């Protein structure tokens, strides 16, 4: 079963890449001028914007947030997004072995993994946060989480209880508690971490499991 699945994924991804512009044009046409704003715990969201050729109207691009910080921020989202971004030299979480700016919104850590320095991270965070605040319809907010960044089963369950309309989660596991939720089991696995692949790779797999156009048009 796993061998056939891997073969299917390999062929599908190769086919998709060969006809990228065709599929992209089709998807862009489906969305038309539908406004959406993605809040993601890692780079998955940035890949969505790139695919649809949309400007980033969210600061949650090129970064990741660990589980406890991500959920705490979402529980009091308006408050935390109104805080001034500062920076720290050391994280309270285990080291990734990589060097990048670590931002702080009060007690929420933002790991700017794909930014060169604090000045770049601050400038883009503030500019994109301003764009986000201009999207005043909360129904246009789309929240995503996956089982990377120390996120557990209980975190996924809590995420789906948050008072946001549009939520999606990805995991290498099915959970009975999430059967009625927008939870997607991914067969491909980051074996070192026992979780789904990184944000960019996860996005490349998403279309094999889920109709993202339907979700965003909703």
pLDDT of residue 85: 98
Sign, CA dihedral 133-105-167-128, equals positive
| Per-residue CA distances from 196 to 25, 114, 170, 205, 206 (Å) | 28, 19, 7, 10, 11
Place of tokens 């089709």: 26
Q: What is the DSSP string of the chain?
A: -HHHHHHHHHHHHHHHHHTHHHHHHHHHHHHTT---EEEESSTHHHHHHHHHT----SS-SS-B--HHHHHHHHHTHHHHHTSPPEEESS-SSPP-S----EEEETTEEEE-TT-SSHHHHHHHHHHHHHHHHT---GGGEEEEEES-TT--HHHHHHHHHSS-SEEEEEESS--GGGTTSSEEE----BTTTTBPPPHHHHHHHHHHH--HHHHHH-
Of the CA atoms within 13 Å of residue 115, those in its CB half-sphere come to: 22
Mean pLDDT of 102-125: 97
Q: Name beta bridge partners: 146.
A: 170
The pLDDT, as a whole number, for residue 41 is 97
Mean pLDDT value across residues 176-193? 92
What confidence tens digit (pLDDT) does each residue in 146-170 have?
999 999 999 999 999 999 999 999 9
The per-residue pLDDT for 116 is 95
Confidence of residue 23 (pLDDT cuts 50, 70, 90): confident
Q: What is the pLDDT of residue 10?
A: 62
Calculate mean pLDDT across residues 184-210: 90
């Amino acid at each position: 079963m796993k061998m056939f699945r891997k073969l299917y994924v390999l062929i599908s991804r190769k086919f998709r890449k060969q006809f990228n512009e065709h599929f992209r044009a089709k998807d862009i046409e489906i969305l038309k001028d539908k406004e959406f704003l993605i809040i993601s715990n890692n780079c998955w969201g940035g890949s969505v914007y790139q695919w649809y050729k949309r400007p980033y109207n969210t600061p949650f691009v090129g970064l990741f947030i660990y589980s406890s910080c991500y959920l705490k921020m979402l529980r009091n989202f308006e408050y935390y997004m109104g805080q001034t971004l500062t920076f720290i030299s050391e994280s309270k979480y285990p080291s990734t072995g990589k060097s990048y700016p670590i931002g702080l919104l009060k007690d929420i850590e933002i790991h700017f993994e794909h930014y060169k320095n604090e000045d770049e991270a601050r400038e883009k965070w503030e500019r994109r946060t301003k764009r986000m605040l201009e999207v005043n319809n909360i129904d246009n907010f789309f929240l995503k989480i996956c089982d990377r960044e120390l996120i557990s089963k209980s975190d996924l369950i809590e995420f789906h209880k948050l008072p946001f309309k549009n939520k999606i989660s990805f995991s290498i596991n099915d959970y009975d508690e999430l059967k009625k939720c927008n939870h997607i089991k991914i067969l491909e696995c980051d074996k070192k971490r026992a979780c789904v692949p990184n944000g960019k790779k996860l996005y490349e797999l998403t279309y094999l499991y889920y109709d993202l156009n339907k979700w965003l048009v909703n």
